[in-house]
């Protein structure tokens, strides 16, 4: 026997509100669009563990049922850009990152020892006294997947940097790196 839950308040039919006492009563869902069309949000990491909502400044504040987002440097300027797609089709939306002074390190890996693309490697980027950690694997969301690369945001940091790679095989290596794109291949055993 399914549980039943009464509506918490009176619903407004003019707004298309509805309530199912049993959320598994799929027959009653026919004809209803469950897409929410919530406004998209983009949050900017200020670097002090605080994220600022910059949706209105970035033009990403669109009213769409966006469910897929992929990140990559589409114009090869060192800044991650966004590709967004809505449920049910419609245009792809490309948001190019135009933040000035922002630098990054893009890391790609290759291995014949662990797996071809080094998926699962652990990366540590040392910037002075600060350490940034990343796991190397393509992030994905609903109906999208990013390129198999790891991005480190550097802001305006211009000092020396050291990248330590712990490959899935257990092999560890350290390299001095600079902002931009770098590619490493795990040595054969």
Q: What does the pLDDT read at residue 150?
A: 92
Q: What does the pLDDT read at residue 120?
A: 93
Q: Where are the beta strands (DSSP E) in 15-166?
A: 43-45, 51-53, 66-72, 81-86, 93-95, 103-110, 121-127, 130-136, 140-141, 144-145, 150-155, 161-166
Question: pLDDT tens digits, residue range 84-138?
Answer: 887 766 788 899 988 887 788 999 999 988 788 999 999 999 999 999 999 998 8
Q: What does the pLDDT read at residue 37?
A: 60
Across the chain, what does the average pLDDT equal? 84
Q: Three-class SS of residue 14?
A: helix
Q: Three-class SS of residue 113?
A: coil
CB atoms within 10 A of CB 107: 23
Q: What does the pLDDT read at residue 32?
A: 63
- Tokens 């033009």 locate to 59
Which tokens is 151 given? 């991005």
- 37-46, 52-61, 125-134, 171-180: least confidently modelled range: 37-46
φ, ψ of residue 28 to 5 degrees: the values are -75, -15
Q: For residue 113, which of 58, 168, 165, 75 has the smallest C-alpha distance?
A: 168
Confidence label for 52 from pLDDT (cuts 50, 70 and 90):
very high
Q: What does the pLDDT read at residue 74?
A: 87
Rounded to two decimals, the pTM is: 0.71
User: Which range is most confident: 22-31, 36-45, 80-89, 143-152?
Assistant: 143-152
Q: What is the DSSP letter of 187?
A: P
Question: pLDDT tens digits, residue range 35-47?
Answer: 656 778 889 888 7
183: part of which helix (H) or strand (E)? strand 180-185
- 19-28, 47-56, 130-139: least confidently modelled range: 19-28
Q: What does the pLDDT read at residue 121?
A: 95
- 49-53, 55-59, 138-142: least confidently modelled range: 138-142
Is-contact 126 104, C-beta < 8 A? no
Q: What does the pLDDT read at residue 17?
A: 72
Is-contact 84 92, C-beta < 8 A? yes
Instruction: Express as a percent the part of the chain with pLDDT over 70.
Output: 88
């Amino acid at each position: 026997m399914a549980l039943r839950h009464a509506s918490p308040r009176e619903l407004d039919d003019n707004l298309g509100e509805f309530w199912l006492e049993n959320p598994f009563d799929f027959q009653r869902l026919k004809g209803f669009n469950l897409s929410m069309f919530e406004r998209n949000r983009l949050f900017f990491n200020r670097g002090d563990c605080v994220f600022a909502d910059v949706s209105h400044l970035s033009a990403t504040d669109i009213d769409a049922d966006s469910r897929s987002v992929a990140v990559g440097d589409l114009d090869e300027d060192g800044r991650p850009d966004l590709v967004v797609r809505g449920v049910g089709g419609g245009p792809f939306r490309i948001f190019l990152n135009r933040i000035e002074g922002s630098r990054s390190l893009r890391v790609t890996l290759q291995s014949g020892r662990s797996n071809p693309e080094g998926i699962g490697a652990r990366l540590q980027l040392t910037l002075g006294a600060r350490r940034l950690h990343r796991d190397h694997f393509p992030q994905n969301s609903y109906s999208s997947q990013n390129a198999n690369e790891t991005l480190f945001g550097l802001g305006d940091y211009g000092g020396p940097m050291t990248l330590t790679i712990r490959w899935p095989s257990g092999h560890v290596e350290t390299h001095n790196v600079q902002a931009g794109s770098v590619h490493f291949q795990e040595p054969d055993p």
